[in-house]
């Protein structure tokens, strides 16, 4: 797994600044005030900072922006990064400044002079979140020798305590990104299950349901998706019972289609390679479980992922086939490319029957239509319960992860009527993301608060996102972790 950069918090040591190698970052307020370490840097560089400010450089900088002075005289460092930031900036702005610094970081070490900042840990977290590269398959691996980050702060002990759970979450985000980035010939259903099994070391109870088990449970929908592939279908279950004994858990359910060709309803060639990220929902569930275990969350949470590959073959499901779900409802498969909902239907039903969860959240790269609706800025949020939905929306907002609620309703459900089965798996072109959500809701039991997150637009993005370089974003790990921390933890 890609490891986040090592961050060390130390006391301010002004006399060390001149001699450090790599990059040095100082903070300047939007109105041009220099703090103590910035004044020292200004003196060492014979007034370079003051000249920069006099020339009005700050005027076109926003809170959290960075300007770099290269090879500054008076410093051993190769770059001086000047960050425009209010000293009491809020968490997200401080993190944004960190992200800007993390973007500049390559293999060199970094010294962050943050002793006068209210939120140095958020800056550090921003650096760690952005300083990511998926180079498992590059001969020249940049992440083999990452330079460490040192943050000089007013109170190193407080900062260290605050940073520990953040590092856990960052590791969860990185696990998600690694999974989402992995090519499908490497990340097979078996390899995915193995990576989950390895998390047993963290205290998670991991169970893998194999095809024979899935058949016993009657998961005909899920199995119909994977039957065209030589990779066996699996359901992986991760239990983290860190809360009160006997309290019903929160269930997280993920779509884990390791590759989606569309099946017999084959997708066009152009861009099909992107469907290596179609296990994004399962990736977020896995990364979140990792974060919760690493920070030893006092909560009961169970993560379940349906791992399948959607391939065309002589043994694949045909359009028009009728399959039976674990719930017992029959489904007419009109389009084998609408496979995610088939996988989720059975895993969600299994989650509810097995755990009687206090709430259930499913995540899936479910529809192209959600990208048409919301682009890459927001995931689509669908829910049958306002209280849990609002809690999630607040958690996502606090973490800077875009999430936008979408409507549901009976009229949309009508669009899924089948002539020959209980339901069909597609509802037509109109409202494609909503009819997908309606399909899922048929597999939610009365009284279970449920959220469906359609993350097709946010799981992997072709340009930089607020916390990640282009590629897998890890969207959702931070929001779900915060939702658990704020609403599902025992005191």
Contact footprint for Mn ion (CB under 5 A): 260, 337, 339
- Residue whose C-alpha is closest to residue 290's, from 368, 173, 402, 183: 173
- List the one residue out of 180, 263, 130 whose CA is nearest residue 460: 180
CB closer to ligand BES, 115 vs 261: 261
**Nearest residue to 335 (alpha-carbon basis) of 408, 270, 260:** 260
197 classed as catalytic: no
Q: Is residue 278 at the binding interface for ligand BES, with CB under 6 A as the rule?
A: yes
Q: Which residue is nearest to ligand BES (CB)?
A: 368
Q: Does 258 bind ligand BES (CB under 6 A)?
A: no
Beta-bridge mates of residue 150 = 8, 111
Contacted by 100, from Mn ion, Zn ion, ligand BES, none: CB < 5 to 8 Å by type: none
Q: Does 309 bind Zn ion (CB under 5 A)?
A: no
Among 228, 380, 402, 432, binds ligand BES (CB under 6 A): 432
Residue ranges in 345-384 that form contacts with ligand BES under rule CB under 6 A: 365-369
Burial-class residue 145 by CB neighbours within 10 Å (0-12, 13-18, 19+): exposed
- With a CB cutoff of 8 Å and minimum separation 6, the contacts of 376 are 457, 458, 461, 463, 465
CA distances, 475 to each of 6, 367, 406, 479 (Å)? 22, 16, 18, 8
Shortest gap between Cβ of 309 and Mn ion (angstroms)?
11
Check residue 309 for interaction with ligand BES (CB under 6 A). no
Out of 23, 96, 255, 341, the active site residue is: 341
Which of residues 2, 8, 143, 335 is near ligand BES by CB under 6 A? 335
CB of 432 to ligand BES, least distance (A): 6
Tokens of 219: 């998961």
Query: Is 267 a catalytic site residue?
Result: yes
Q: Which of 35, 81, 122, 260 binds Zn ion (CB under 5 A)?
A: 260
| Distance of closest approach, residue 331 Cβ to ligand BES, in angstroms | 13
| Counts of helices then strands in the chain (DSSP H, E) | 15, 19
Tokens at 216, concatenated: 């016993």
φ, ψ of residue 412 in degrees (nearest 5): -70, -35
Size of interface with ligand BES, in residues (CB under 6 A): 15
Any idea which residues carry the catalytic annotation?
Answer: 267, 341
Task: Using CB under 6 A, list all residues that contact ligand BES.
Answer: 260, 278, 335, 337-340, 365-369, 426, 432, 456
């Amino acid at each position: 797994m890609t490891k986040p950069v090592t961050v060390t918090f130390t006391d301010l040591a002004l006399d060390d600044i001149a001699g450090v190698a790599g990059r040095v970052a100082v903070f300047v307020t939007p109105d041009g005030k220099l703090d103590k370490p910035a004044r020292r840097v200004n003196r060492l560089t014979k007034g370079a900072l003051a000249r920069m400010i006099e020339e009005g450089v700050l005027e076109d900088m926003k809170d959290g922006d960075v300007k770099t002075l290269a090879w500054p005289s008076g410093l051993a460092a190769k770059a001086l990064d000047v960050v425009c930031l209010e000293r009491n900036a809020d968490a997200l702005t401080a993190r944004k400044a960190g992200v800007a610094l993390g973007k500049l970081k390559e293999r060199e070490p970094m010294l962050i002079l943050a002793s006068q900042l209210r939120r140095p840990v958020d800056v550090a977290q921003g650096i760690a979140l952005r300083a990511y590269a998926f180079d498992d398959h590059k001969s020249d691996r940049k992440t083999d020798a990452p330079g460490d980050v040192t943050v000089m702060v007013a109170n190193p002990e407080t900062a260290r305590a605050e940073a520990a759970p953040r590092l856990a979450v960052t590791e969860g985000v990185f696990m998600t990104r690694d999974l989402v980035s992995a090519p499908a010939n490497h990340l097979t259903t078996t390899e995915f299950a193995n990576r989950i099994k390895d998390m047993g070391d963290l205290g998670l109870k991991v169970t893998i349901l194999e095809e024979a088990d899935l058949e016993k449970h009657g998961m005909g929908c899920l199995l119909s998706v994977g039957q065209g592939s030589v990779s066996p279908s699996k359901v992986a279950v991760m239990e983290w019972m860190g809360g009160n004994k006997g309290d019903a858990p929160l269930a997280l359910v993920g779509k884990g289609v390791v590759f989606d060709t569309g099946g017999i309803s084959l997708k066009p060639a152009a861009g099909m390679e992107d469907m290596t990220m179609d296990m994004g929902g399962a990736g977020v569930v896995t990364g979140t479980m990792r974060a919760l275990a690493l920070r030893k969350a006092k909560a009961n949470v169970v993560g379940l992922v349906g791992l399948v590959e959607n391939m065309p073959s002589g043994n694949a499901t045909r359009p028009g086939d009728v399959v039976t779900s674990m719930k017992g409802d029959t489904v007419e498969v009109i389009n084998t490319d609408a496979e995610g909902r088939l996988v989720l239907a059975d895993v969600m039903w299994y989650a509810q029957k097995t755990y009687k969860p206090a709430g259930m959240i499913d995540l899936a790269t479910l529809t192209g239509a959600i990208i048409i609706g919301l682009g890459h800025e927001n995931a689509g949020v669908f829910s049958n319960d306002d209280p849990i939905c609002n809690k999630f929306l607040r958690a996502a907002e606090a973490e800077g992860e875009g999430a936008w609620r979408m409507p549901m309703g009976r009229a949309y459900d009508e669009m899924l009527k089948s002539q020959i089965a209980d339901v069909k798996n597609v509802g037509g072109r109109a409202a494609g993301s909503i009819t997908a959500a309606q399909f899922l809701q048929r597999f939610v039991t009365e009284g279970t608060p449920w959220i469906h997150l359609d993350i097709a637009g946010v799981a992997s993005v072709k340009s930089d996102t607020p916390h990640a370089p282009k590629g897998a974003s890890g969207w959702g790990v931070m929001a779900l972790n915060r939702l658990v921390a704020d609403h599902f933890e025992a005191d």
